[in-house]
Amino acid sequence: MVNWGKLEGAPNWFNTPWKKLDFRFSEEEELEIERYAKKIKENIEEDKMTPMERYNATMEGQEVDRILVYLAPLTTYSIRALDSFANAVKPIDSFRHPKLFLKAHMAFVARFATDCIDFYTLSYGESEWGGKAKLLELAHPVMTEPGVKTMEDADRLVVPDPRKDGLYPGDLWAVNKCKQIFRKYRLEGVVPILASCCSPPAWIVATCIRGLTNGFLDPIRNVDLWHKLIEKTTKFEIDYAKALWEAEADVVWCCQHHAAWPPKVFKEQIAPYDVRLAKEGPLHGWGYAFNQEKHVGILRELGGYDPVKWVALDTETPVEFSRQFTKEMNKSYTCIETDKTLAGNLKALEDAVKAHIKIGTSTPGVGFGMVAGSIDYWTPPENCDAFVKCVKEYGKFPIKL
């Protein structure tokens, strides 16, 4: 470990370069993986397009058979499919064991018949950036004490290497192993492998280096320290995105929460770093939470959507605005419908999905997809089934809504 951070309960492979990780599958596990691969194939046999064909056509605004749909379960929900929703095997097991992390994602795609397998990060950097952190049973690792309290701490803070430091190598191993498995079972180039380099530069500073209170106020009250730290986290994020490409991900994306800061603060203290990440990573997509109506325009002015191909916007951002915004940029737009997937009112979910599809497909030549992301650990599988079913049923072209 390059910094002074510590992760309570860290696995024995912590700080091991990902290319030196040698997690071998037993004969029974190999059978299990083969079964998942076959089920994923069965799920797409009757479709007119493969998921990869659908993804690529969506990104280019070309004709598709139906709307692209997938679930972004994060590390905390994918394990539920592997566990058959028994609440026995827990998210903490995924963080400790990359084999479970990989199998959980394969089981999830096999179970819910989504178009993409989406690997979320194993770490936000809770300990890799000098903080004290611990693993939690049902959540991401949590930082218990910030690692940087003074400018002197910031000066001696070393940028971690995602290829060898902390939990990051387990993430890279799983992405690369998935590509090998897909290659073996002829799923390579058929089902897209998405990988997230979350958390973005500003959020690493705010949540994993300085702590929430200081982290959100530093861009206003402690600007010199802020810039010293976000310069380092941006360098890291660019390297992390590149490492995921090296691990053979098909799509690399990053989440964002721009609206956590006022637009003026975002424009002056944060946005230029996100532009660098988008261009130098490079990124295929941004995934947003909160209402981003004011902030995405700022990033657009600065060139933060080039070469980014798609923008995933939570429904807190008005759907009509999201559609118009992506139309003007000639980008693909993915609607994130999470709230009603979590809520459990399946009629309300169906109504929302139909409304999003009607608006989202109203402009020919601009790609449109739907995803439910950041799904809560306790979300019933029936809710996820309903979301995927609704999108597939009402998202067939020509749209009849």
pLDDT class of 69 with cuts at 50, 70, 90:
very high
Across the range 21-32, mean pLDDT stands at: 97
Q: Of 333, 331, 268, 255, whose CA–CA distance to 299 is shortest?
A: 268
CA–CA gap between residue 241 and residue 254 (Å, rounded): 9
Task: Note the pLDDT of residue 318.
Answer: 86
Residue 74's pLDDT band (boundaries 50, 70, 90)?
A: confident
Q: Alpha carbon of 4 to those of 143, 150, 306: distances in Å? A: 13, 14, 36
Whether residue 74 is contained in a domain is answered as yes
Question: Which residues have a Cβ under 8 Å from the Cβ of 303 and sit 6 or more positions away?
Answer: 275, 278, 279
The alpha carbons of the chain give a radius of gyration, in whole angstroms, of 20
Instruction: Return d(Cα 362, Cα 357) in angstroms, integer.
Output: 8
CA geometry: angle 394, 400, 401, nearest 5 deg: 80
Q: Which residue has the tokens 């861009």?
A: 219
Task: Tell me how many domains the chain contains.
Answer: 1
Nearest residue to 289 via CA among 351, 353, 224, 336? 336
Q: Which pLDDT does position 226 carry in this prediction? A: 98
d(C-alpha 102, C-alpha 79), whole Å: 9
- 248 φ/ψ angles, rounded to the nearest 5 degrees: 80, 30
CA distances from 178 to 36, 170, 362 (A): 12, 12, 36
Please check the confidence at residue 238 and state whether its pLDDT lies above 90.
yes
DSSP E strands, 156-250: 193-196
Residue 331 CB: number of other CB atoms within 10 A?
22
Which strands, in side-by-side order, build the sheet including 142-145?
6-8, 132-134, 142-145
Q: pLDDT exceeding 70 applies to what percent of the chain? A: 100
**In this predicted model, what pLDDT tens digit does every residue of 165-180 receive, in sequence order?**
999 999 999 999 999 9
What number of residues does the chain have?
401
Q: What angle do CA 134, 136, 137 make, to 5 degrees?
A: 150
Tell whether 399 is covered by a domain: no
Helices (H), 191-222: 201-203, 212-221
Contacts of 140-147 with CB under 8 Å at 24 or more apart are 140/75, 140/76, 140/91, 140/95, 141/7, 141/95, 141/167, 143/207, 143/208, 143/211, 144/8, 146/209, 146/210, 146/211, 146/214, 147/3, 147/4, 147/5, 147/209
The model's pLDDT over 16-25, given as tens digits with 9 standing for 90+, comes to: 999 999 999 9
Half-sphere CA count of 193, side-chain side, radius 13 A = 25
Q: Which H or E run contains 334?
A: strand 332-336
The residues, ordered by sequence, that sit 6+ positions from 147 with a Cβ below 8 Å of its Cβ are: 3, 4, 5, 129, 130, 131, 132, 153, 157, 209
User: Which tokens is 56 given?
Assistant: 């690529």
pLDDT of residue 315: 85
Which pLDDT tens digit goes with each residue over 296-321? 999 999 999 988 999 999 888 888 88
Q: Is residue 1 part of a domain?
A: no
Whole-prediction pTM value?
Answer: 0.96
pLDDT for 339 equals: 76
Q: What's at 255, amino acid-wise?
A: C
User: Which ranges of 64-129 does DSSP label H, i.e. alpha helix?
Assistant: 74-82, 91-96, 98-112
**Structural domain that includes position 272:** 6-394
| Band (1; pLDDT cuts 50, 70, 90) | low
pLDDT on residue 376: 84
Phi, psi of 334 (to 5 degrees): -115, 125
Q: What is the pLDDT of residues 110-159, one digit of tens each?
A: 999 999 999 999 999 999 999 999 999 999 999 999 999 999 999 999 99
Residues 372-385 pLDDT 10s:
988 889 999 999 99
Would you say 299 and 331 are in contact if contact means Cβ atoms under 8 Å apart? no
User: Is 80 exceeded by the pLDDT of residue 342?
Assistant: no
Mean pLDDT, the chain, rounded, equals 94
**Does any domain span residue 211?**
yes
Tokens of 31: 């059978």
Residue 91 confidence (pLDDT): 96
CATH number of domain containing 162 = 3.20.20.210
Question: Does 338 have pLDDT greater than 70?
Answer: yes
Is 372 a member of any domain? yes
Residue 377 included in any domain: yes
Is residue 263 in a domain?
yes
Whether the per-residue pLDDT at 293 is higher than 70: the answer is yes
Q: Decide if 289 contacts 257 (C-beta within 8 A).
A: yes
Residue 219 domain-assigned? yes
Collect all residues with Cβ–Cβ distance below 8 Å to 183 and sequence separation of at least 6: none
Residue in the structure block whose two tokens are 């739907």 = 370
Tokens representing residue 237 in the block:
């994020």
